[in-house]
Amino acid sequence: MNDIFFENPEYDIKIYRIDKTHFEFKKNELVNNNDIINHIVNKHKEKVNEVEESYRLHPIIINNIEYFTYSYTEEKESYWKDFIPESLSKLHDFSVKQISFVLFACAENNIYAIVGGGGSRVIIRYQDQRFGLDFFEYITDLDEEVLSIEFRGISGKLSKRKDIFKDGLKLIDVLNFTNIPSKINLKLKKEIKDSVFPFIDFGDRTTILEIGSYFNIKHKINFNELHSIFLTLNEISKSNYKKQLTSFVEIKDKTIIKDVYKKELIFVLFNYMNELFSPSRSDFPKHPEIEFVHPSNIQDFYESDMFIFKLKDNNKKFEFRDKEKLLYQGLKIIYENYENLDLMEFRRIISGLWIYGLRKNKILTRGVFLDHIICELNIENRPIFQIDTRWFKVEDNFTNSINELCNRMIEFNYLDQNILTEKWNFDLNEDEDSYNRKYHLKDNYWVFDKSLGQNIELCDILYESNNVLYFVHVKKGFDGKIRDLSNQIQVSAARFNNDVSSGGLKFVNEVINSYNRKKENSDKIIDKDIFINKLTNKNKRFEFVMAFKSDSKKIPAIKGNVHLVKSNIAKYSLIQCVREMNMLSFPIKIVEIP
């Protein structure tokens, strides 16, 4: 929108919508559009130190829409001043003026906005992050030709991903019910142009629609057409008919999130803490359906080699290196530093617990402890999810579909070769480390558990057959931990793929060095040259293996019994991992440990 100030009266405009459920509005008891808009503007003025006590925007009404305009000009020094030597820059004035502009448009209960210059900074905290996608669900039949789609996975997706498609692929063909679209580019159909936007002259040219947090018809329009779009958006959004772009529906009711879902999550954590550490603790505490990972910087989180906990009302720092036990350690810190905790005090303390991820003493990630939690809660006999700080529910027909697909994927990708022959004895409290070590002295097996390269595991166990190298990743249980296992496999495969493709093999070399340094491997040292030849042998095939052992006595085998498993996160994660790995050059196999 930087060109909004050109003389041409037509512009390519992104339309945003203000999220009127934002907690600041409720906190300040702001209900009407006028008060909400002035709150947004005054918050921006506070940031730029231009607070005016009597300042207030007033609307101008044009054909049933209330318009508010806000602009702000600030002077900054051009980056060129820092780029060139001072001996050159001191000869010139590098100050530039930047304008921030927002046009608010109120149509009944909806507040829409367009921005220019730095105007996005005014509304970014308050905008509806899925407005464009949500509105498109009212007008689509999913038959549009899609050009690109960005999404984030609800089940182990490591980062935001963008796929670009060839001509002719329909939206319905690329939507994936285990993913949540965040931005889509598609061709606007003639039927939608004629029925929804008849007041715009599109001509015969192809028109692209971009939807995400905004709604953007990539076609220059004038103000009258923009005005009509505002009216259209408002009218169509009253409909009850929508075509969902994902089976996951984001829950936006902040009250129910705060008063029901977050309270339930904290109640689960409180009980889990007491099961782990209180005098009346159980010998076999029931682990809640929780995974612990940074909500947005997942890659950096996995590459961190140290984690620091900080409590809001405690100056002490608590350092840990084992990312597998961060949930456990966080709860332990609270239990050991506060006496006679009741649920209310626990809620206050855990809400102020922060965690930092570092690598080589440099902070890579930071965030509130609770925001790192990926969980599935059963509330009123319905699964509710917190994923990356947001809450979701699923469509009613989703469970049967996910069970059927997960079962099919296990059957189709099951490893027929019997490469994991050792039994995992839960009665002896064998953990993953103990199980992996059973293969240490076996021929053609190497245990790489916790042998890190660039702070990433290549695998837990490597097995070599005549023509295949199997990179086996092991996990106890078929629950939320499968999401973590999926992440590990995808990170490892991507890093190994980059290593082999580049020919540098820095990652592999670091893994081998880490392995050889371990005292427990001194009786099976790896010859680096011989081993790297195995990994670069073009006659060898690489297969990554997801290996798990059910820890449920009721469901000793997962294959064929997926419908009995309660953990939907485990099922989504397995499905998504298979799909992601199929897009790499390495196939994935699945096996249950005896």
Q: What is the pLDDT of residues 472-527, one digit of tens each?
A: 999 999 988 898 899 899 999 999 999 988 888 999 999 999 999 999 999 999 99
Residue from 350, 319, 322, 357 nearest 335 by CA: 350
> Taking 70 as the threshold, does the pLDDT of residue 157 lie above it?
no
pLDDT value of residue 166? 65
pLDDT band at 450 (very low <50, low <70, confident <90, very high): very high
pLDDT value for 161: 60
Q: What is the pLDDT of residue 132?
A: 96
φ, ψ at 223 (rounded to 5°): -65, -40
- Percent of the chain at pLDDT above 90? 56
Model confidence pLDDT, tens digit, residues 285-341: 777 878 888 887 888 898 899 999 999 887 789 999 988 899 999 999 999 999 889
The pLDDT of residue 130 is above 80 = yes
| pLDDT for residue 158 is more than 80 | no
Element (H, E) at 494: helix 481-502
- 16-29 confidence digits (pLDDT tens): 999 998 889 988 99
Tell me what pLDDT residue 437 has. 97
Residue 97 has pLDDT above 70, yes or no: yes
Report the pLDDT value the prediction gives residue 163, as an integer from 0 to 100.
66
Confidence of residue 3 (pLDDT cuts 50, 70, 90): very low
Nearest to 286 by CA among 551, 546, 501, 2: 551
- Which are the contacts of 250, defined by CB distance < 8 A and separation ≥ 6? 130, 180, 390, 391, 392
pLDDT at 316: 84
Where are the strands (E) in 360-455, listed by range? 362-368, 373-379, 382-387, 390-394, 445-447, 452-453
The pTM of this model reads 0.65
Residue extents of the structural domains in the chain = 1-127, 129-246, 254-391, 398-592
pLDDT over threshold 90, residue 225: yes
User: Which one, of 413, 278, 258, 427, lies nearest residue 347 by Cα?
Assistant: 258
pLDDT tens per residue across span 185-194: 999 999 999 9
**pLDDT at site 7:** 43
Q: How large is the angle between the packed helices 223-236 and 131-139, nearest 10 degrees?
A: 70
pLDDT for residue 79 is more than 90: no
Do 306 and 319 contact (CB within 8 A), yes or no?
Answer: yes
- The SS3 call for residue 149 is strand
Amino acid at position 368, single letter: V
Distance CA 15, CA 432 (A): 51
Torsion of CA 80, 85, 87, 88, to 10 degrees: -40
Highest mean pLDDT among 170-179, 288-297, 395-404, 490-499: 490-499
Whether the per-residue pLDDT at 125 is higher than 60: the answer is: yes
Segment 448-454 shows an average pLDDT of 93
pLDDT at 209 over 80: yes
What's the whole-number average pLDDT of the chain? 88
Q: Quick check: 94 pLDDT over 80? A: no
- Whether the pLDDT of residue 462 is over 90: the answer is yes
Side-by-side strand order, sheet with 306-311: 314-320, 306-311, 354-359, 362-368
Cα angle: 122, vertex 127, 129; to 5 degrees? 135
Which has the closest alpha carbon to 73: 43, 101, 103? 101
**DSSP per position, 59-75:** -EEETTEEEEEEEEEEE
Q: Is pLDDT at 453 greater than 70 in this prediction?
A: yes
User: Residue 5: is its pLDDT beyond 70?
Assistant: no
Q: How confident is the model at residue 1 (pLDDT cuts 50, 70, 90)?
A: very low
Phi, psi at 246, each rounded to 5°: -155, 155
Mean pLDDT to the nearest integer, 259-273: 94
Distance of CA 189 to the CA centre of its chain: 31
pLDDT in tens, 230-255: 999 999 999 988 888 887 888 888 88
